[in-house]
Chains A and B, each alone.
Chain A
Amino acid sequence: MRQVAAIGTGQTKHAKSRDDVNQSELVREAVTRALADAEITMRDVDAVVLSNMELFEGRALPEMWVGEGAGGYLKPAMKIATGGTSGTSACIAGYHQCASGLFDIVLVVGWEKHSEGATQTGMALTDPLWDRNVASGAVGNFALSISQYVTERGVTPEQAAKVAVKARRNAAKNPYAHLQMPDLTVEQVLASRMLADPIHLLDMCPQSDGACALVYAAEGRTEKLCPRPAWVRAAVTRHDQPYIGDLDRRLVTMRTLRDAAREAYKRVGIAEPLKEIDVAEIYEPVSYAELAWYEALGFCAEGEAGRLIDEEATEMGGELPVNPSGGVLSTNPVGASGVIRVAEAAMQVMDRAGAHQVPGARTALATGYGVYAWSDVIILSADK
């Protein structure tokens, strides 16, 4: 195994609708910026990994249709689709390709253009034997799990709303973010339309058009190309059972994220995540999930997530800023969302996050969340 680092990232302006470009142009926008950031050209790229949930746009073989925009011609290119984890799965696959010694430079690009289709149509194509008869969509399923989480942990709607406010306020300093709401208040979140008790509209992530690209280089090449790369220190993935009813108190236990985090921390030698990690970009599709992830990721003891947000420990300037970019709650082009988490974590370590930079960040955590409970955990560091 070789050491691998992120040496460049690129994002599009994310928005509700990017009618000005098609999917290929959207991908090219992110890829061009990532190559420029890494100071390489497409000729230097050995392989391409793509991430997209094609059912959402209803166009098969997206890896072919965006081939020219992604630079995949006459190169090994593959597509990964694992729901919300698609982007982090692609980042982990790209890391494996580079670390294995197969390729020296790998480009990862994820995108989604939700405005082109009905995301619910894709969600409705769930298991035909069982799930389709009792579907309640992503919002309904989260609401079910949240009822268990708040009952066991005593988290309040106000504490969840603080997460939603933090995300949109942070997003206001991220020029690429979709929802930028610097003046959003807890009261406004609680007054927004109820989607499924207790989830308000502003507790939930949006659907966005956007793309994000990331360039990896293997050791040897990295040192020549990048003065301050973000070394991948751990990349762990965990999948779980298919039916929501199989998972014991999903948000409370979240065994995939707990297990992935435990292994990642062991590899890096992290004993106290809250103190030793400088910044986190976690995949929070709904405000309550971020609180549940704090516990699963070991940022606090079980039942302490509400206190953590009350004490502003995860705000910019807190002990462990979570989602300086604004997170999934502010920007959610699904196939890109996981790549954005890893790219934003890399930008922090590389000291290239601009107005939402956490000063002096050296160790960053990125996570992916997909389907009912799939988890990815990636740790990046300024230290090899």
Chain B
Amino acid sequence: MTELLRISHTMTLSWRYGASWYFAEFIRALRDERRILGLRCPICRRVYLPPRPVCGNCCAELREWVEVKDTGTVRAFTVVHTPIIDPSTGQPRPTPYGMALIQLDGADTTLNHYLAENDPATLRVHIGTRVRAIWRERGSGTLSDIVHFAGMNNEQ
């Protein structure tokens, strides 16, 4: 029988996504003022981060902006050892790296983001640890303007 073939393909693709009024406002505040904005549901009063135009639980339109702090509490965490493709670069992200779900002060949802610490042997993070955002010097207008979160051990 003829030897079986595998046909390889590699392609570079690009997209342009419409981000709508609410995301434009969120990004403007993040990039120009280093402020993090959430939207509050008029019915259940939940403050959503990322902001979105509708509360899925109440089917209500969200219009009330609420400022959320860049400090928060770790609600879940891990250290990732297996390389995944970083969607922002298309390349495997260097490992290990710390990840957490962080409830920012003033928000009711949690934000998944990177942790400064990535060594499981010396990890001082646990559920309940207070953390603060470490910002890039120059904002580019994406969530990556926050490099990662670091423990507030020496603060407060």
Contacts and interface: CB of A to CB of B under 8 A. Distances in A.
Contact of B84 (A19, A131, A135, A147): A135
Interface in B1-38: 4, 6, 9, 15, 17, 19, 23
Given A135-B86, A245-B101, A145 B76 contact: yes
Contacts of B87: 124-126, 131-133, 135
Given A129-B19, A134-B114, A244 B101 contact: yes
Contact of B82 (A129, A196, A240): A196
B63 to A, nearest CB: 19
Interface string A106-144: 000000000000101101111011111111110111011
Could you say which interface size class chain A belongs to? 35 or more
A369 B110 CA distance: 22
A255 to B, nearest CB: 11
A144 B112 contact: yes
A194 B81 contact: yes
B78 A19 contact: no
A245 B112 contact: yes
Nearest to B50: A130
A183 interface: no
B76 A195 contact: no
Nearest to A116: B6
B65 to A, nearest CB: 17
Contacts of A136: 78, 80, 84, 99, 112
Contacts of B90: 124
B60 interface: no
A243 interface: yes
A128 B17 contact: yes
Could you say which interface size class chain B belongs to? 35 or more
A19 B75 CA distance: 44
B152 interface: no
Contacts of A249: 75
Contacts of A120: 84-85
Contact of A139 (B6, B50, B80, B112): B80
Contacts of A140: 78, 80, 84, 99
B143 interface: yes
B43 interface: no
Contacts of A129: 17, 19, 23, 50
A241 interface: yes
B50 A144 contact: no
Interface in A220-256: 240-241, 243-246, 249
Nearest to B1: A20
Given A151-B127, A197-B120, A243 B109 contact: yes
Contacts of B50: 129-130, 243
B115 to A, nearest CB: 11
Most chain B CB within 10 A, of A19, A58, A135, is at A135
Contacts of B86: 124, 135
A250 to B, nearest CB: 9
A156 interface: no
Nearest to A240: B56
Interface in B65-110: 75-82, 84-88, 90, 99-101, 109-110
Contacts of A123: 84-85
Contacts of B85: 118, 120-121, 123-124
Interface string B43-63: 000001110000011000000
B116 interface: no
B78 A245 contact: no
B150 interface: no
Contacts of A100: none
Given A134-B113, A135-B87, A196-B78, 8 more contacts: A19-B4, A133-B87, A136-B78, A140-B99, A196-B80, A196-B81, A197-B120, A246-B56
Interface of B: 4, 6, 9, 15, 17, 19, 23, 48-50, 56-57, 75-82, 84-88, 90, 99-101, 109-114, 120, 127, 142-144
5 contacts: A118-B85, A195-B81, A196-B82, A241-B57, A243-B50
Interface of A: 19-20, 58, 118, 120-121, 123-126, 128-137, 139-141, 143-148, 151, 193-198, 240-241, 243-246, 249
